Amino acid sequence: MSLSPDTVARLAEHLETCELEARDTPKITDEHPDMDWADAYAIQDAIRARKTARGARIVGYKAGLTSHAKMRQMGVDSPVFGFLVDAFDVADGSGLDTGRLIHPKVEPEIAFVLKRPLAGPGCHAAAVLAATDFVTTGIEVIDSRYRDFKFDLKSVIADNTSASRFVIGARAVRVDGLDLRTLGVVLEKNGRVAALGAGAAVLGHPAAAVAALANHLGARGESIPAGSVVLSGGVTEAVAVAKGDHVRLTVQHLGSASLRFE
């Protein structure tokens, strides 16, 4: 750690206030170029603690920057991990108040719901599949608090990996007999195809992203509890959305989910 506890607390308050007030900010490494990975996750943890102290419930976790398309789009080279609270959860088919967001983008994802907890080290894709209750379609709405979505890995980790909202589809599908690598993914915006991909774009297998999350949490003495939702990461580049847009994600065999920006 290179930042003092006071600085960690101040940066967490700053980033969370930007989230709650839908304001952007320059990336925090501009002012704190020496911050390290432990500082970045300490700021994210402090944001989590602020939310749970106000009554938020942790409902799941997310892996991000798990596909080459996303890494290329954001100019970074490794995955990041964040948390999801109940307030981020948006009902399938509903409308989202765009005025409460800064510059939202949507990502097509494969969502996992666990029936057993997962803990690293040594977690792998097969262990993830054995612990999975069901998989379904997941739309993630990301909304970086950084101006123009310009950040480096440490800044984005501190900002809870741009987490903002998510939609979980209504069809729960068991993983037995399903090859998540070859599932086709189609994201439509206003009735037109905006992005296309297949599950294998996510670290070769979406369950590998969940395993990486379990190993990350395990290294910090945490695990993914049973019942958690896990977003395994955008299959394609994220697609910018604005007020008036409608998005629909269809994942082969997993069904569709949709969202309106109002």
Task: Using CB under 6 A, list all residues that contact ligand OOG.
Answer: 62, 64-66, 70, 74, 107, 140, 142, 144, 156, 161-162, 233-234
Whose Cβ is closer to Mg ion: residue 79's or residue 234's?
Answer: 234
- Taking the complex as a whole, the smallest distance from the CB of residue 149 to Mg ion amounts, in Å, to 13
CB of 159 to ligand OOG, least distance (A): 8
Site for Mg ion in 206-235 (CB under 5 A): 234
Which residue number has the CB closest to Mg ion? 140
Nearest to 128 by CA among 254, 224, 233, 252: 224
Q: Which does 65 bind (CB under 5 to 8 A by kind): Mg ion, ligand OOG, none?
A: ligand OOG
69 binds, among Mg ion, ligand OOG, none (CB under 5 to 8 A by kind): none
Considering CB distances under 5 to 8 angstroms, the limit depending on partner class, which of ligand OOG, Mg ion, none binds residue 51?
none
In the complex, residue closest to ligand OOG by CB: 64
Residue 125 touches which of ligand OOG, Mg ion, none (Cβ within 5-8 Å per kind): none
String marking each residue 109-148 x if it binds Mg ion according to CB under 5 A: -------------------------------x--------
Query: Beta partners for 146?
Result: 25
Is 107 among the residues that bind Mg ion (CB under 5 A)?
Answer: yes
In angstroms, the first-to-last Cα distance of the chain is: 42
Determine, following the binding rule CB under 5 A, whether residue 188 of this chain makes contact with Mg ion: no
The site partner of 232 among Mg ion, ligand OOG, none (C-beta below 5 to 8 Å per kind) is none
Integer Cα distance of 91 and 169 in angstroms: 9
Q: Which one of ligand OOG, Mg ion, none interacts with residue 144, CB within 5 to 8 A by kind? A: ligand OOG
Between the CA atoms of 206, 211, 214 and 220, what dihedral angle is there, to the nearest 10 degrees? -120
Cα 223 from Cα 217, distance rounded (Å): 6
**Is 64 near Mg ion (CB under 5 A)?**
yes
Least distance from ligand OOG to the Cβ atom of residue 5, Å: 26
Least distance between ligand OOG and beta carbon 142 (Å): 5
**How big is the CA angle at 162 (ends 108 and 129), to the nearest 5 degrees?**
50
C-beta of 73: minimal distance to ligand OOG in Å? Answer: 7
CA-to-CA separations, 69 to 66, 72, 75, 242, in angstroms, rounded? 9, 5, 10, 22
Can you give the binding site for Mg ion, defined by CB under 5 A? 64, 107, 140, 234
